[in-house]
Amino acid sequence: MRHEQFLGDPFPARSNRYASAAVIGAGSWGTALAATLAHAGLETRLWGRNSAVIDDINANARNSRYLPDVVLPKSLLGTHDMSDALSDVDAVLLVVPSRSIRSVARQVAEHAPEGIPVAVCAKGIEAETGLLMAQVAKEELPSHPIGCVSGPTFARETALGHPTAATVAFPFDHSDRLHPERSAAVRLALSLTTESFRAYVSDDLVGVEIGGAVKNVVAIACGMMSGAGFAENTRAALITRGLDEMKQLAETLGGRRETVTGLSGIGDLSLTCSSTTSRNMALGHQLGQGLARSTCFDGRPVVVEGEFNAKSVTDLARRVGVSMPICETVRAILHEGVDLGVAFAALWARPIEAEPRGMDVSFDHPSSDKDIATFAERIS
């Protein structure tokens, strides 16, 4: 052990942290990230539209609406004024639903200091354009470095200080590779890192974002089959084959397969597919039990990212020629009116394939139409 590294400042990496940050979006995940930044010692401002939520944060160090049992750092400052939130900050985290990224990024562009990094913390693909969230933000914030933060992270556990890990991804240029300690990815990773929150760094923005978008759709599939009464074999199969769909799409779009086996891919996928704490898993579970979509979540208008991503992900996959049968199954059920049992029986009755795609082997499924119809009734 090199004892000299402990002379002087016991945490020399702190010198590369940002001094201040703005988190745009005061929902559960935005609040958890803001609390993490404040706990790490950054001057942190949290912007939200709901004045009651912001007043609660400032007066009581609580976000009673989204994280009622979490005590927030008293240094965390809430605001519903975008200009105030972004005044003189060093970095911005966009933590709003994927459908709002473009409009909110446009607002950020009016007030953010020139050239500061912006990390997108929403997961999805824009329906109208087929763009990933960071690509959407880049169109609205062309003079800013754009990256993302993604990983297996439930907001409440993060805010409570449970050991948590995530990936911070930004493109790396030549200068970043020569001096990684100066890069936006490393500086933001250090800014988020505390004794309980551990950030990793990536230069594969496409791979990280594809993992975040696709895992929500696969989680709905897992929830559907769980709600229909099936157990661990089924969930393991869906997770594994869903991961393969994720790899194929990421690689086709220029990402790396290795990225999808990391925190933002299999890590986030396994978490989201394992607990109804995930709204995606919870929606699927309720639909699998036979509830109508309008009655899920007791009729409350809960935003479920995978519900929208099921269409945008498969639209993109079709456009680039990638087969994603699990995601297509979820799309068929949610957006095309196909019966859940019929859709999943058809998924299981697809031609028999080799698992290494390089073998290029395929045979028709041996079950009869009657067998498949019986299985569909069992699922339903």
Catalytic residue IDs: 215
What ranges make up the beta strands (E) of the chain? Answer: 20-24, 43-47, 77-79, 92-94, 118-120, 146-150, 164-169, 197-202, 352-353, 362-363
Buried-exposed string 52-69: b where 16+ CB fall within 10 A, e elsewhere: ebbebbbeebbbeebbee
User: Other CB atoms closer than 10 Å to residue 323's CB: what's the count?
Assistant: 15
Chain length of the chain: 380
Question: In terms of Cα–Cα distance, which of 351, 317, 352, 348 is closest to 331?
Answer: 317
Alpha carbons 217 and 331: distance in angstroms, whole number: 9
In this structure, is the dihedral angle defined by the CA atoms of residues 123, 87, 20 and 75, taken in order, positive or negative? Answer: negative
Nearest CA among 107, 56, 65 for reference residue 85: 107
- Give yes or no for a contact between 45 and 23, defined as CB atoms under 8 angstroms apart: yes
Angstrom distance (rounded) from CA 341 to CA 349: 12
**8 Å CB contact between 117 and 184:** yes
C-alpha separations of 254 from 177, 260, 321 in Å: 19, 12, 14
Q: How far apart are CA 279 and CA 174, in angstroms?
A: 40
CA–CA distance, 362 with 371 (Å, rounded to integer):
20
Q: Which of 85, 146, 82, 90 is nearest to 116 (CA)?
A: 90
Q: At what angle do helices 101-111 and 133-140 cross, to 10 degrees?
A: 40
